Amino acid sequence: MYLIAPVLPAVSVALRSMHEPAEHDPVGLFDATCARILAGGDVAQAVDVLSDGLWWMRARLPEQEWQQAVALVRAHPLLGLLHENPFARRAFLRPRGHAGDAPLLDLIYDGHAAPEARGASPLGYALLARDTATPLAAALRERRGFMAELIDHVAEARPRPRILAAGCGHLREGLFSAAVQQRRIGRLVALDRDAEALAVVERSFPGMGVEATNCGIDLVLEAGFTPASFDMVYAAGLYDRLGQRLAAALTLALFALLRPGGRLVIASVARGIYDAAYLEAIANWPLVCRDAAEMQDLAAGIDPAEIALKRVYTRQSPDIFYLELRRRTAARWEA
């Protein structure tokens, strides 16, 4: 019988011990993990040991040797066991073109209750429980709640605000926003290139001022929106798959969409998270991670005279950085 870790903890997640295997014996690590899983018992601990081993390999090996280790684990019987986990399997297969799609995030948010988890094996459920109890998973749930708080805050500050959610996915933060649920939003543009995700958005928010817009970031970069037309713009998971140069260009374009006094908030996964190497090797999800200086640099192309506030911070979790920019307020607010 497999031991299942607690699912969906609060943001506070206990730090785990780090296991340091010999980085030049990846097959030994994979064999040992496979044996532990097949023997039953504590699946979460077995995957933690694997994840830490991969972390050390990623940190110490030259890039070519790390890629060889990735190829080895993907050819090992261990991968088939780990892909009984609907989270790892969906990320790896990328049915919608990228790893962190909206149904995958629902697995992180809802665990066994997510539609994508239906029909998983007992081992798959145990592995999913482990992955939804990690510090990063808790940080992603915190991010969802924070975006809902931001929506509510702007709705208190501005009547009937105009908001743009870039890379919205299923817009799950809207379910936690009192302003959205009470129909106090003037316009919320939910922008995403995933038509299936936007169909869920349309079903979830009827008559609530939410406009599902099926387009990628090219619409922003090519001036598809009227400048200075939104009170708030935010991007929750979008930047986790953008390189620094494109991300900086997008930040400049998003900032141009703010009305005077408007707020831009960008989230990005922090460097050094526990499972970065595990996600890359097992789930084919090489997250673009940033440190505080790289978050600051995203705004380098914006005229400082236009910025009233610029700050980088974390919430309770240290695993996600937020860049917040406020546009200077004009002498008179223009409706």
Is 219 in contact with 225 (CB distance < 8 Å)?
A: yes
Count of beta carbons in the 10 Å neighbourhood of residue 159: 10
- 8 has a pLDDT exceeding 70: no
Residue 19: per-residue pLDDT: 72
pLDDT > 70? residue 179: yes
pLDDT reported for residue 71: 97
Check residue 40 and give left, alpha or beta (phi > 0: left; psi -120 to 50: alpha).
left
Looking at domain 137-275+286-327, its CATH architecture is 3-Layer(aba) Sandwich (3.40)
What are the pLDDT digits (tens) for 200-215? 999 999 999 999 999 9
pLDDT band at 46 (very low <50, low <70, confident <90, very high): very high
Query: Residue 164 has what DSSP assignment?
Result: E
Whether the pLDDT of residue 162 is over 60: the answer is: yes
- Report the pLDDT value the prediction gives residue 224, as an integer from 0 to 100: 87
Q: Taking all residues of the chain, what is their mean pLDDT, rounded to a whole number?
A: 92
* pLDDT of 223: 81
The per-residue pLDDT for 280 is 98
Comparing 224 with 269, which gets the higher pLDDT? 269
3-class secondary-structure state, position 201: helix
Closest CA to 328 of 220, 228, 200: 228
Q: For 32-42, what is the mean pLDDT?
A: 93
Residue 28 pLDDT greater than 80, yes or no: yes
Mean pLDDT of 115-141: 96
Q: How many angstroms separate the Cα of 289 from the Cα of each of 144, 223, 242, 294, 307?
A: 18, 27, 10, 9, 25
The size of the chain, in residues, is 335
Q: For residue 313, list its beta bridge partners.
A: 322
What's the pLDDT score for residue 329?
A: 84
- What does the pLDDT read at residue 205? 97
Look at residue 335 and tell me whether its pLDDT is greater than 90.
no
Distance between start and end Cα atoms, the chain: 62
Question: What is the rounded distance in angstroms from the CA atom of residue 5 to the CA atom of residue 268?
Answer: 27
pLDDT digits (tens, 9 = 90+) for 212-249: 999 989 888 888 899 999 999 999 999 999 999 999 99
Q: Would you kindly state where each structural domain of the chain is located, as residue ranges?
A: 23-134, 137-275+286-327
Question: Looking at the predicted structure, is the pLDDT value of residue 84 above 70?
Answer: yes
What pLDDT sits at residue 203? 97
Higher pLDDT, 1 or 108: 108
pLDDT for 221 equals 86
Q: What is the pLDDT of residue 5?
A: 43
* pTM assigned to the model: 0.91
How confident is the model at residue 215, as a pLDDT? 92
Per-residue confidence (pLDDT) for residue 123, from 0 to 100: 97
Is residue 321 predicted with pLDDT exceeding 50? yes
Q: How confident is the model at residue 222, as a pLDDT?
A: 85
Sheet holding 230-235, edge to edge: 210-214, 187-192, 162-166, 230-235, 258-269, 320-327, 307-313
CA 135, 137, 139, 145 torsion-angle sign:
negative
Task: State the pLDDT at residue 247.
Answer: 97
The C-alpha torsion from 68 through 74 and 77 to 81, rounded to 10°, is 140
